[in-house]
A = this chain, B = another copy of it.
Amino acid sequence: MPRPISDVTEAELAVLQVLWDRGTATIRQVTDIAYPQGRASDYGTVQKLLERLREKGHVSRERRDGAPHLFAATLDRDGLIGRSLQTMAEKLCDGSMTPLLTSLVRTERLSAEDRQALRRLVDELDGKGDRS
């Protein structure tokens, strides 16, 4: 039983990016931005993508009478990042995110400021109880 999954696909992500940028948008607006070539069928494509994103719970829709539906992302960029990292941890690290963290710190060329920020973040966590 073959079944590739990815929660948010390539084209869906392009749509999400527009919503992230603009906050809210109509299908027409998303289409104009995400498909500048302006094919006739692009509108329908975007509509389908928004529909699927809505089924997944990542996008909400506001009905307005006399005006086109207004769409907004319910999953923001950070949310998607967290979600993806979680999935990745489950697949590759038995659920633990620590290996990902280690890999990132090792790989990333962190500037001095980055390192400072990171240290501050950790200190912050130290403060907030959870001192296990």
The chain A residues found within 8 Å of chain B, CB to CB, are 3-4, 6, 9-10, 13, 77-78, 80-82, 84-86, 88, 91-93, 97-112, 114-115, 118-119, 121-122, 125-126, 130-132
Contacts and interface: CB of A to CB of B under 8 A. Distances in A.
Given A4-B9, A126-B115, A132-B112, A106 B121 contact: yes
Given A4-B9, A100-B81, A105 B121 contact: yes
Residue with the greatest number of chain B CB neighbours at <10 A, chosen from A86, A101, A131: A101
Contact of A122 (B97, B119, B131): B119
Instruction: Give 7 nearest A-B pairs by CB, closest first.
Output: A97-B108, A111-B132, A81-B103, A101-B104, A105-B121, A115-B122, A82-B103
A92 to B, nearest CB: 6
Contact of A13 (B78, B91, B118): B91
Contacts of A101: 101, 104-105, 108, 118
Given A84-B88, A112-B126, A115-B126, 4 more contacts: A13-B92, A81-B88, A101-B104, A102-B121
Nearest to A4: B4
Contact of A100 (B104, B121, B130, B131): B104
